[in-house]
Amino acid sequence: MTRPIWDKGGAAVDEAVQRFCAADDVVLDRELFPFDVRASVAHVNGLARIGVLSEEERVALVRELGQIGEAFAEGRFVLDARFEDGHSAIEHLLGERLGDVGRKVHTGRSRNDQVLVAARLWLKERLGALGALCLDAAGVCLDRATTGERVPMPGYTHLQRAVPSSLGAFFAGHAEAFLDDAETARAARARVDQSPLGTAAGYGVNLPLDRTGVAAELGFSRVQVSPIYAQNSRGKLELLGLTALHQATLDVRRLAWDLSLFSTAEFAFARLPEAYTTGSSIMPNKRNPDVVELLRTLPAAVEGAMAELSATLSLPSGYHRDLQATKGPVLRAFGRALDGLALVPALLERVTFDEARMRAAIDPTMYATDRAVELAASGTPFRDAYRQAAAEMAGLAGRSPEQSLSARVSPGGMGALGLEQLTARLAALRASS
């Protein structure tokens, strides 16, 4: 390992202690490294604006930072165990290439605000990706809702047949959930959108740093004013991001459960695309819905990360090395969940439904609620209408699913799904992304 940037030349660094303290930081920082480089460029430009760096020094540092970023992106530079973390790698490489000029890069900042800003930029991007994936899923759901608006299928409560529903209603329900999730991701991103760079170790520095200009260069809408809160917010804002991610994965899990049930031989309503299934190592007849089953696990992965962060954040004010442990769970949870969410739109486009099978599963007793409401609408007290409908089940045999669906015209009901409203909401969210 290269000499730690905090080494003051005293006692030798114990390698076992160093390995324990650094843990897997250098591996995790591979995901944050491009954002660390980008923030370093903005920091250098800010130092030049207040006269700490000359224009010549600024140009040299920005040039080398660009080359470091390019080398990393192209695989010519690998962030590995030679370095304690990504921050140390940047300073080491700049010092190696530019000498004393390179070693000026850390003026006015700490690794504390350096990791904060890199993680903040990363989280903004991931929350943006989360919102976009939710909108993609909502868009496919609305397309399927439109084509299936009048395709009958059973509606269930308690996993028991209840009333006639439609394939359009099924997809409209999931579409609205994903629209909510996109808005939740956007709200979380707005909270994350504040720059901690320039707060140093949590108490500011004796330089007139251009924090506002640096924040604007990095695309933040504002600065995080309090240096103490900047440190205290580490892990807290990541937990907020995980909460938004969790909301989306909960809806994915419910959708995955629906598809899992509907694709069983017992239901036989849905058929999953073959590319989203696997076979058995011993049973030649099997076609297993592995993708939807693994989609069901996504909330558990996010909940595990949330539990780790919540437990770690039981700290007094200020920076503590414990906070390093918030990085890994967040990176892993977002990585796994976004990979899963990315599969959902194509899965929804390609899953097929057996319309005849779904229609056949609607039995006459499922029209009893319609009959009770009809009696109540004609003046019979509802509880009496309820009992009368229960006693007249045999008389419901002549009804059709289409009649039932078209009669339920309450807003959002089976005869008035409100797809135009949902489509307009989707368009507005896409336009403002």
Among all chains, which residue has been given the structure tokens 């579409």?
A: 175
Q: pLDDT band at 195, cuts 50/70/90?
A: very high
Calculate the average pLDDT of the chain. Answer: 96
Q: pLDDT band at 325, cuts 50/70/90?
A: very high
- The domain 111-150+162-360 having CATH identifier 1.10.3720.10: the answer here is no
- Residues 273, 278, 280, 281: what is their CA dihedral angle, to the nearest 10 degrees? 150
**422 vs 431: CA distance, rounded Å:** 14
Q: Name the fold adopted by 15-104.
A: Fumarase C; Chain B, domain 1 (1.10.275)
**89 vs 34: CA distance, rounded Å:** 12
Percent of the chain topping pLDDT 70: 97
* Residue of higher predicted confidence among 17 and 161: 161
Instruction: Identify the pLDDT of residue 20.
Output: 79
Instruction: Identify the pLDDT of residue 128.
Output: 99
Annotated active-site residue 92? The verdict is no
Non-local CB neighbours of 398 within 8 Å, separated by 6+ positions: none
**422 vs 178: CA distance, rounded Å:** 11
- Burial readout 368-397 (b: 16 or more C-beta within 10 A, e: otherwise): bbbbbbebbeeebeeeebbeebeeeeeebe
**231 vs 97: CA distance, rounded Å:** 32
Query: Which of 158, 314, 378, 432 is flagged as catalytic?
Result: 158
Instruction: Identify the pLDDT of residue 84.
Output: 83
Average pLDDT over residues 169-197: 99
One-letter amino acid identity for 268? A
Average pLDDT over residues 156-161: 98
Instruction: Identify the pLDDT of residue 81.
Output: 82
Query: Does the pLDDT at position 24 exceed 90?
Result: no
Query: Does the pLDDT at position 1 exceed 60?
Result: no
Q: pLDDT band at 7, cuts 50/70/90?
A: low
Query: Does the pLDDT at position 248 exceed 60?
Result: yes
One-letter amino acid identity for 380? T
Annotated active-site residue 404? The verdict is no
Non-local CB neighbours of 231 within 8 Å, separated by 6+ positions: 112, 116, 199, 201, 202, 317, 318, 319, 323
Question: Do 361 and 272 meet the contact criterion of CB atoms below 8 Å apart?
Answer: no
Among 25-29, 179-183, 210-214, 339-343, the range scoring the smallest mean pLDDT is 25-29
Percent of the chain topping pLDDT 90: 91
Question: Do 191 and 163 meet the contact criterion of CB atoms below 8 Å apart?
Answer: no
Query: Does the pLDDT at position 61 exceed 60?
Result: yes
Map residue 265 onto helix, strand or coil: coil
One-letter amino acid identity for 57? E
Question: What is this structure's pTM?
Answer: 0.94
Instruction: Identify the pLDDT of residue 427.
Output: 99
- The continuous run of DSSP H or E covering 160 comes out as strand 160-166
Among all chains, which residue has been given the structure tokens 């693994």?
A: 294
pLDDT digits 0-9 by tens, 342-381: 999 999 999 999 999 999 999 999 999 999 999 999 999 9
Instruction: Identify the pLDDT of residue 10.
Output: 64
Question: Please, what is the Cα angle at 208 between 207 and 214, to 5 degrees?
Answer: 110
Among 81-85, 187-191, 225-229, 290-294, the range scoring the smallest mean pLDDT is 81-85
Q: pLDDT band at 171, cuts 50/70/90?
A: very high
Query: Which of 280, 317, 400, 433 is flagged as catalytic?
Result: 280
Instruction: Identify the pLDDT of residue 234.
Output: 97
Q: pLDDT band at 4, cuts 50/70/90?
A: low
Average pLDDT over residues 401-420: 97
What are the start and end residues of each CATH 1.10.275.10 domain in the chain?
15-104
pLDDT digits 0-9 by tens, 91-150: 999 999 999 999 999 999 999 999 999 999 999 999 999 999 999 999 999 999 999 999
What are the start and end residues of each CATH 1.20.200.10 domain in the chain?
111-150+162-360
Average pLDDT over residues 312-321: 95
